[in-house]
Amino acid sequence: MSITNGLKRLWGWLRRPSPKALGTLLILGFVSGILFWGAFNTGMELTNREQFCIGCHEMENNVYEEYITTVHYNNRSGVRATCPDCHVPKDWTHKMVRKIQASKEVFGKIIGIIDTPMKFEEHRLEMAEREWARMKRTDSQECRNCHNFDYMDFTEQKGVAAQLHAQASAEGKTCIDCHKGIAHRLPANYAGNDALSHTLSADQQSTTVH
């Protein structure tokens, strides 16, 4: 059989498939779709683990070392916020957007933009401001998965905290407006006026994990 005749027979079968062949194609397509979706979601979840986040020395030797000295890592209740809890949206649509954005970060890793501590510090403010802006746009959604003004009992908080949280809630502020230095050290050249962020960052650097 020539190649031309074979192609003609294939084209004819595609134009007028038998019911049995059509059913087989539908079943194969359905099963393939399930397998693809399962593999895709498995891959997504694997990239949403803390071990994946600190798989490169740029993260493990810099911001991760800072994070493990904070209350988000070690505290009396034993509730811990991991890297993805703060930096990856939980809803599917925004998670996909964040993953696409992360491809640029992978490129930066490949070409060595922040592969030394000195380079990391040079770019720290730029990276921090980009993340602060993202959290500002989402109303600190990742923070509010655990901390929400609507469910805070201000009477149970210390005086200053209760006052500031009540004021922030009334003024429509979001978590990142005041808590920029809560999990990572503020950039040395950060010129913000939010004194609370500087205080939190200083407290963080003097904290040790017990």
Phi and psi of 200, rounded to 5°? -65, -40
Give the dihedral sign, CA 181/209/116/84. Answer: negative
Query: Is 5 strand, coil or helix?
Result: helix
* Poorest-pLDDT segment among 6-10, 47-51, 55-59, 186-190: 6-10
Q: Which amino acid is at 75?
A: N
**CA nearest to 147, candidates 63, 85, 70, 201:** 85
CB atoms within 10 A of CB 169: 14
- Distance from C-alpha of 185 to C-alpha of 4, rounded to nearest angstrom: 68
Mean pLDDT computed over 45-64 = 89
Nearest 5°: CA angle at 131, between 125 and 136? 120
Query: Is 148 strand, coil or helix?
Result: coil
- Distance from C-alpha of 62 to C-alpha of 64, rounded to nearest angstrom: 6
pLDDT tens digit string along 75-97? 888 989 999 999 999 888 888 88
pLDDT tens digit string along 133-177? 999 999 999 999 998 888 888 888 888 888 888 888 889 899 999
Give the dihedral sign, CA 156/158/161/163. Answer: positive
Q: Give the per-residue pLDDT at 35.
A: 93
Query: Is 112 strand, coil or helix?
Result: coil
Two tokens, residue 25: 């194609």
Question: Residue 2: pLDDT band by 50, 70, 90 thresholds?
Answer: low
CB contact set of 17 (below 8 Å; sequence gap of 6+): 25
Total residue length of the chain: 210
Q: Give the per-residue pLDDT at 68.
A: 93
Q: Give the per-residue pLDDT at 208.
A: 43
- Distance from C-alpha of 20 to C-alpha of 13, rounded to nearest angstrom: 12
CB atoms within 10 A of CB 141: 16
70 in Cβ contact with 182 (< 8 Å): yes
Mean pLDDT computed over 184-210 = 63
